[in-house]
Amino acid sequence: MVRFWDTSAVVPLLLTESATRPARELLNSDPSVVVWWTTRTECISALTRQTREGNLTPVEESHARRILAALASQWSEVAASERVRQRAERILGLHSLRAVDAFQLAAALVWSKADPSEHALVSFDERLRDAAAREGFDVLPAG
């Protein structure tokens, strides 16, 4: 089953953190990844912030960027569109999400052709996980 990956699930593939093991297990079990158009940029933002805050060395950031480039060369992206924007705006009225997360969920809904019951969304963001489950996605990792 192809899975839609939120940025919060991609970043642990780039850095070692508490979510790294479950994220890698999910990727190893199915390397088909779909993401929203801004995911790569959001990952770069997370990496540069970690470096600025002294949590990553420039060498570690460079290594993480190489991993990101390798992942991005293989994944599929849901492009920005009026359909995604309209869904995001609807989602903001239904769920307590930030705009960036509403776009993630909207992109996942567009990708699933509005039938999330047959699809999974990978995320470690609790609000997004809750909203995705309420929209009908199988949310991973389980738990």
* 110 assigned to some structural domain: yes
Residue 99 lies in a domain: yes
Is 64 a domain residue? no
pLDDT band at 2 (very low <50, low <70, confident <90, very high): confident
Ramachandran region, residue 136 (left: φ > 0; alpha: ψ -120 to 50; beta: rest): left
The answer to whether the Cα torsion of 130, 131, 137, 141 is positive or negative is negative
The string of pLDDT tens digits covering residues 18-76 is 999 999 999 999 989 999 999 999 999 999 999 999 999 999 999 999 999 999 999 99
Q: How many structural domains comprise the chain?
A: 1
The CATH number of the domain holding residue 88 is 3.40.50.1010
| Domain hosting residue 84, numbered range | 3-37+75-140
Model pTM score: 0.95
Statement: residue 106 has pLDDT above 90: yes
What would the mean pLDDT of 113-132 be, rounded to a whole number?
Answer: 95
Strands (DSSP E) contained in 2-82 are 3-5, 33-36, 76-78
